[in-house]
Chains A and B, each alone.
Chain A
């Protein structure tokens, strides 16, 4: 069996030879320069370019989305306007209709009132006429009746007319109270 005493001392493992130092340093510097100056910048450029491409694609998609959104908004706005217009038109029509109805009603009422008033007036005038003619006829009738009863005693014209008037007043008062 070999022992460490026969081979080189184990501590030699941890004591660097000078050529080891030189070669390790050279290799590290070469590798570091390679990575710092060539390898990583190259790949970084590729990563950046790829990211830019992807972001460009995303931006494009976002623009398309925005366009679609704008179009949708426009369409919806138009729809809303149309809806509002329709509602307005309907309201207008309703108001107008109610106006027309109200006008017609007012006019009809006015007409009816006039007709009623006219009828009232003609009734009143006819009543007046009837009253006047009745007054005359009742006077004549009463005069004739009284003449027949009293004979010629009441031939004096003055007495005759005053008596008729007082009589008619009495009649007039009585039926008016009863008619109401």
Chain B
């Protein structure tokens, strides 16, 4: 740290990028599971079908977070 640099942040900006990228999928996954629980509570007899649909949605949403994860490694240059 020299005299001109008053504050220094070390590390990789990708971490912040991933933090931002995780917000959306985080909310999305929360909504998916919350709604699935709600729906199952209302219609317990449809539980199996709701769970299947829930996993499909979860897979799609989770992929966004995973994209964020890998882009941190891929776009480092």
Chain A residues in the interface with B (C-beta under 8 A): 1, 3-5, 9-11, 13-14
Contact B76 A10 (CB under 8 A): yes
Contact B73 A13 (CB under 8 A): yes
Contact B76 A4 (CB under 8 A): yes
How many residues in B have their beta carbons less than 8 Å from beta carbons of A? 9
Which residue of A1, A9, A13 is within 8 Å of B11 (Cβ)?
A1
Which residue of A1, A3, A14 is within 8 Å of B74 (Cβ)?
A14
A17 to chain B, nearest CB (A): 16
In the complex, what distance in Å separates the CA atom of A5 from the CA atom of B77? 8
Give the residues in chain A near B72, CB-CB below 8 Å.
10
Give the residues in chain B near A4, CB-CB below 8 Å.
12, 14, 73, 76
Complex interface bits, B37-77 against A, C-beta within 8 A gives 1, otherwise 0: 00000000000000000000000000000000010111010
Give the residues in chain A near B10, CB-CB below 8 Å.
1, 3
B71 to chain A, nearest CB (A): 10
Contact A10 B11 (CB under 8 A): no
Contact B76 A9 (CB under 8 A): yes
Give the residues in chain B near A11, CB-CB below 8 Å.
73-74, 76
A168 to chain B, nearest CB (A): 121
B11 to chain A, nearest CB (A): 7
Complex interface bits, B9-33 against A, C-beta within 8 A gives 1, otherwise 0: 0111010000000000000000000
Contact B70 A14 (CB under 8 A): yes
Give the residues in chain B near A1, CB-CB below 8 Å.
10-11
Q: Which residue of B lies closest to A3 (CB)?
A: B12
* New contact pairs (20) apart from A10-B72, A13-B73, A14-B73, CB-CB < 8 Å: A1-B10, A1-B11, A3-B10, A3-B11, A3-B12, A4-B12, A4-B14, A4-B73, A4-B76, A5-B76, A9-B73, A9-B76, A10-B73, A10-B74, A10-B76, A11-B73, A11-B74, A11-B76, A14-B70, A14-B74
